[in-house]
Amino acid sequence: MTKSRPQIGIIGGSGLYSLFTDAREEFPDTPYGKASAALTIGRLGGREVAFLPRHGRHHQYAPHGINYRANVWSLQAAGVQQIIGVGAVGSLTPSIPPGSLVVPDQLVDRTTSRVQTYFDCPRVAHASFADPYCPTGRRTALQAAEKCGWPPVDGGVQVVIEGPRFSTRAESQWYAAQGWSTIGMTAHPEVVLARELGLCYTPLSLVTDLDAGVEEGNGVTQHEVMEAFATSLGRLHGVLDELVPLLAEERECACASLRPGAL
């Protein structure tokens, strides 16, 4: 019997394992080594979905040490065409408090050491990246969150830093002064790799804290972030339950056509 291939992939934390029914595991081969973990494939909202914990099953990979190329490639190899990227972020403004759900529309890369392309020499290609996220996926995510009674923040700029440390107060204040709204460590190069493969990428950013420069205090701690994320897991599950069946089975966006060809 031929197994069905999941069209939708979710990348996020290990707490999302409980989403699925009738789950199985697959570990697709990639030219880039092993992904962070095996894919867990199961049913969600009547659809076949593949889940990948980006930090590994035991959170053993720091943001700068994740094999992003293998992760995104493994999802495509399994049949995924649309990726939902779930991540914890800090807020750079009091107007977006902890507990908010943000669906950003822009990204700024401040990482320093990550391989961020499939086009190693001598293959050369230049991906169109003016609008990083799938516009159709974003609209659908906003709709799903509203249906769940969790009014989302529509749009905003997420700045991605190298990590694993959090920002200094001066760095945080500088990011905020640019008008950027949230800060995280994993959205890049995940989304650009999806673009290079012609995949849709829809972000769901959960605000766990106010970043170091936003208010006085001791700054962000790992415990604070993990605790806040765990507290909102139930609400995230609800949004994903609504979002997955709403995503179109036949894509009408331009994401697939934006996949660049090697020169």
Which residues are designated catalytic?
Answer: 209, 211
Distance CA 173, CA 191 (A): 25
Distance CA 33, CA 46 (A): 32
| 133 three-state secondary structure | coil
Q: Which helix (H) or strand (E) holds 240?
A: helix 233-246
Tokens 């399994």 belong to residue: 78
First-last CA distance in the chain: 40
Question: Sign of dihedral through CA atoms 161, 162, 166, 169?
Answer: negative
Q: Is 243 left (phi over 0), alpha (psi -120 to 50) or beta?
A: alpha
- Structure token pair of residue 136: 């159709």
Peptide bond into 122 cis (omega under 30): yes
Distance CA 228, CA 215 (A): 18
Distance CA 209, CA 229 (A): 10
152: CB partners within 8 A, 6+ apart: 100, 101, 102, 103, 141, 142, 145, 146
